[in-house]
Structures are given as C-alpha cells and as structure tokens.
Structure 1
Amino acid sequence: RVYQINLTQNFKFHSKMDSFELFKLLLSRQDTEFKAFIKDETREILSFSPELFFKTKKRKIFTKPMKGTIKRDKDHIKDEENKIFLQNDTKNLSENVMICDLLRNDLSKIITKKSLKTKLFEIQSHPTLHQMTSSVQGKLKKNISLYQIFKALFPCGSITGAPKLESIKFIEELEQRDRGIYCGTIGLIHKNKNKFSVAIRTLEKQDEIYTYSTGSGLVWDSKFKDEFEELKLK
C-alpha cells in the first residue's frame, strides 16, 4: 500500500510545573530554530521543532523536509563517524529521496514550470542528534494564496509517508487517535512572507496533563530495534 510510513506514539505525564518555566528549562537544553510557546483558553503548546514546513517571501517558496536521524556521541571521533554513517546510509538516503519526491510533486501544483530546485542530503547537528534534511524550492505561480499553498502541501510529507494520501489512511487505521497539534504546523504570517514549522518535538498541555509524541519512518527493510531506538532518541 505504501513505500514509507511515519508511525508515532504518544506519552503522557502529569506536572504542576508552570508550563512557561518548563519551556525555558527545555529550551536551555535544546534550543531549536522553530521554537514556540502558545497558550489559549484550553491548552498550552511548547514546541521545539527543528523542521521547516515551508516559508515564502513574495513569490518564492522554500521547503526543507527532514528525514534521517542518528544520535550524537560525546566522543568527537565517534560523533563524526555517526555523522558520516548518516550521510552514506542507504536506508536513510532512500527515505529522504522518497519524501523529497513527494514534496516536489506537491510543489508542482503551485509553482511555475522550470523553477523547481532541489538540494539533497544536508546534515543538521543538534545537541543530542544529527538529522538529514533536503531543500526543495520554487517560484509560486501568480496569485497563489496561502490557502492554496496549504491545500497543496499540508500535511508535510515527512510526517505522513509516501504516497501521502494512502499513508494518511493507513496511519488512521493503525494509530486510531488524533495527533493533536503534533505533526501539524505552527507559524507566522506577516505581509508578503510566511514561515511555518512542522510541529514535531512538541508538548501539548491540557488540565495539568502533558502529551509528548514521537515517531519514525518505516520502510520495507526497517529493523524494529533501530526504529525503536530512534523513537527513544527523539
């Protein structure tokens, strides 16, 4: 049914700690580019996402899907070895390419012909892990609205799988729960530019109960132990 699917699991814990104090504490340990704290009448969201969903400036659109993870090591030599392994591991490379192909297909609905550009297999290093990203960008067709962008791209392929629609159906069958804000998007809209993250590494609090979700991408040759270790790492 699918070539790749992103399955997730949620974990719940109780805490009376002030959510913004927790946000600051976690931020001091793992600062990320797309951090966000949101509070409304019903819930609080603490997001430490490292992944860009998309950003636009005038008619340019840029996406940066993330697929491929390995832990960091305190030993510098071993840490570099882990990084090199990630850069050359066929499973992670193939997963990354699948998601990039999916994003290219989604973007083709809203960008001009011949404007599509791709840069594959960049490594981003964070305090506890290395992650592989790729960049896909293009020039939006004239008069494309933010609604049309979301209609073409949402949800991000990196947290569904490929093909996207079949993966979403499969996820609904297997997970049988609402992911909440997790794997959705958080962003800013400002005049002629927008920026949205993929809401991973995100805590959601309701009535003193925190929910944290994490997952990993599965393909036909995935090894259970490796995927479970990746889930714990995240």
Structure 2
Amino acid sequence: MKDQIQTVINLGKGKIRRYSNPSFATLYRLRSKIDLLTGKEESFDGQRVLDQWDDQGLEDSKKIFHLFYELGYLIEGIESKTFAKHNPILAIEIHYSDSEDRIAPERGESTKFHEYYRELFGVYQASFNSGYDALMRGDCYQFNLTYPFRYESDDLMDFDLFTSLLMSDPKRAGAYAHLSFIPQMKKILVSNSPECLFQGRMMPDSLKLWTMPIKGTINCFKDEEIKDKWKELKRSVKDQAELYMITDLLRNDMTRIEKTPSKVVKKKLPLRVPGLLHQYSLIEVTLSKNLTLKKILQGLFPGGSVTGAPKKRVMSILDVLENEPRGFYCGSTVILDDDIIAASINIRSGEYEMESKMLKIHAGGGITLESDCNNEFLEMHAKRDSFLSLFT
C-alpha cells in the first residue's frame, strides 16, 4: 500500500477514513492527461475537463476530486498568463475500491523544516499597492492576495507521518483536513482546511446545499482568550465588510447554480483554528436531487472567499499581481461517498515534493479599502504559521 495512491480524510472526533486500492486515477492538465495507474500520457483539451463530470451525480461512493485553482480560469473564461507559459494541472480524479474508518493515529515525531524561500515585504507591498489602486478605481471591491513559501525538511517525510501530524489532535485538525499520496507525482497533497466550498445532504425530493465562507482573522492562542477575541473580531468594521461582501457573492453563486434563490442562515459565527480565530457565515439553497457535479462547480468554483469580488474581474487582476500559480492551494477537494457530499476550500494547504523534501505552501488574505499593508503582511504570516505549526 505504501507505493499506492491513497487518501485520508478527517471524520471528526478523532476518527479518519483511509481510501486505498484505486480503480481509476487520472491527472488532467491544460493540454494533456495522465493515467496515474499506468503512467500513459495523451493529449487532452483542458477546456473539456468539466465535461468529464457532466453525468457525475452526487450520490456515489469512494470518489475524490482534487480541483486545482487554475481550473477556475477555464470555468470563468479567463485567459491566464499561466496557460501561455505552462501546462498546469487542472484536476486529479480518483475512484477507490476500498475504504476503512479508523481512530486517528498517535502523533509521530516530525523532522525540522528550514525556510527555503519567502517573498520580501517590498515585493508584497508592490502587489498590495497595485491591487489597492484597482480598488480605488472601482475595478473591484475586495481581492484575496496570496504569496508562496517553501520549507525544506531535514529528513524525508512519508504519507503515514504526515497523516499522524495532521490528524492526531482532533482539536487542531480542520473540519475538512485531508491528504493524498500520489506516487507518480512523487508528491503528498496535504490540507488542514477549516473551510468548505459546499456541503450537501440528500433529502427525499431535493438536495440541500450549504456553503460557509470564512472572512476575518485575529490571533488567538489560548482557549481562555476566545470570548474577548471574538468580541474584538466582531467589532472590526474592516473584517465585517470583508465577510458581508463575500457572503453576498456566495449567495449569488449559490443562486446561479439552478436560478433558485439561496438564503443567508447565519450572518456571523466564530471558528477557532490553531493560533487563530476566524468568522464565517452560513448560506443554504435547495436544489434538484439529480444535480451534477459539473453544474455545481460552474456556479461555485473557485470559492469566492479566496478570490474576491466581483469574482471574474478579481481573478484577472490576481493573475497579474501574483507571481506563480496557486495550484492545489485555494483549489477544492470534492469527496463523494455513501455518507459524504462535501468539498473543501484548500486554504492552510501545501504540496510536499518527496524528491526535494520541499514543502510548498501559500498564505494570504482579503484586501479592501480599509486594509493596511503591514497588518495584511503580518496576517498572511500568521496563517502560514497556523498551518506550519502542525508539522514542527
């Protein structure tokens, strides 16, 4: 099994589910696709990737879809600079034959990570200022600026070790925490995401779909701080504006799936993650029972909380401001199983390259007219530290 594709997801309350023995595994790029079971590569038109899921219903079993952020450019009809320079990964689709629910393993012993690369403040400031000019011109109302970091581990970390570090403490594992080992890529995709793109439940005659966008962040290291920190976060005009703006964007995205009105169920709720306190809203919509995955993704992907508003315009702006593709980060992982209809938004996420022992992560945050460059730079590093602390 150690050389096989496998995935582990968080079930909550100290339990995990491990998927193994894949019967189908395909990596889709912009201009090619690779059968990850045989290694065969053939030409492929990435514009057709969503068509693979035209008949993919939501009532299925043991299927995992890793959607990379760059797929969003195709969905929104944006000609990204990445497409001219690279053949980026758009998605990885895996069908498993086996799954097993287990108690999360005890924490293993991590190796040390050493910082290999990060953007200097001056580079971040230049992008911040360019984006802020777009806000001042009225080109957008909020943009989510992200930057990459790279860390090299002293020793090679395998999939089981990453699983133990991510899942051993149920208080620190995100609700949508998961990881996949793709041996053909020599990579481990790892996410401690607390945020969902959607969560679904089949009803007798319909599908209930929820989304829970996160916007607003404050440092919170101790349980006894939560009450006071939540009061402080709730009072923040800037953070409230971010949340309400993206909530309205997501309400519109949910509505456009089937032109069925969605509604905001909760406007503002607290969410604790390692070292941070966030706020989020809850939006729901009632949809057709036979809805396909393609239709949902056309309405929702990529998540509005990791782009900004208006979504399509902001994605074009970010394509210029950011210096490299986001990849797995800020994409989504869709899980379709007998008791699960869910998709994460892959914040607090990274890609571990096993040959180089390099962990590539991103972090970022929403920028509005109320934003201060220094504060946003510090918040970006706090989010980076929240994820990195799991492995150190």
Corresponding residue for residue 106 of structure 1: 253
* Candidates 19, 23, 39, aligned match of 2:181: 39
Q: Match of 1:87, SS?
A: helix
CA distance in 2 between partners of 1:28 and 1:52 (Å): 21
CA distance in 2 between partners of 1:74 and 1:143 (Å): 45
The one-letter code of the counterpart of 1:80 is K
1:137 matched to 2:284: yes
Corresponding residue for residue 157 of structure 2: 18
Assess, with a 3 A threshold, how the Cα gap between structure 1 residues 60 and 11 changes in structure 2: closer, same or farther.
Answer: same
1:8 matched to 2:146: yes
Q: What do residues 103-156 of structure 1 show as CA deviations (whole Å, max 9, x unaligned)? A: 111111124645534311100122311100100101014643110000110000
Q: What do residues 18-41 of structure 1 show as CA deviations (whole Å, max 9, x unaligned)? A: 143144224446321111110112
Contact 1:96 1:134 in 2 (8 A): yes
CA distance in 1 between partners of 2:226 and 2:281 (Å): 21
- The range that moved more, 119-128 or 141-150, is 141-150
TM-score of the superposition, structure 1-length normalised? 0.92
Assess, with a 3 A threshold, how the Cα gap between structure 1 residues 227 and 152 changes in structure 2: closer, same or farther.
Answer: same
Unaligned runs of 5+ in 2: 1-138, 384-392
Q: What do residues 20-78 of structure 1 show as CA deviations (whole Å, max 9, x unaligned)? A: 314422444632111111011202111100111101122111100001110114483x5
Q: What do residues 81-111 of structure 1 show as CA deviations (whole Å, max 9, x unaligned)? A: 2221111211111100110110111111124
The one-letter code of the counterpart of 2:191 is S
CA distance in 1 between partners of 2:213 and 2:323 (Å): 25
TM-score of the superposition, structure 2-length normalised? 0.56
**What is the aligned residue count?**
233
Q: Match of 2:231, SS?
A: helix
1:49 matched to 2:49: no
Give the 5 Å matches for 1:49-68: 49-58=193-202, 59-68=207-216
Could you list the structure 1 runs, at least 4 aligned residues long, displaced by more than 3 angstroms after superposition.
Answer: 26-29, 111-115
* Greater gyration radius: 2
- Identity within the alignment, %: 32
Contact 2:252 2:262 in 1 (8 A): no
Corresponding residue for residue 70 of structure 1: 218
Q: Match of 1:110, SS?
A: coil
The structure showing larger relative contact order (alpha-carbon pairs under 8 Å, at least 6 residues apart) is: 1
Q: Match of 1:34, SS?
A: coil
Assess, with a 3 A threshold, how the Cα gap between structure 1 residues 140 and 192 changes in structure 2: closer, same or farther.
Answer: farther
The one-letter code of the counterpart of 1:18 is M
CA distance in 1 between partners of 2:345 and 2:299 (Å): 15
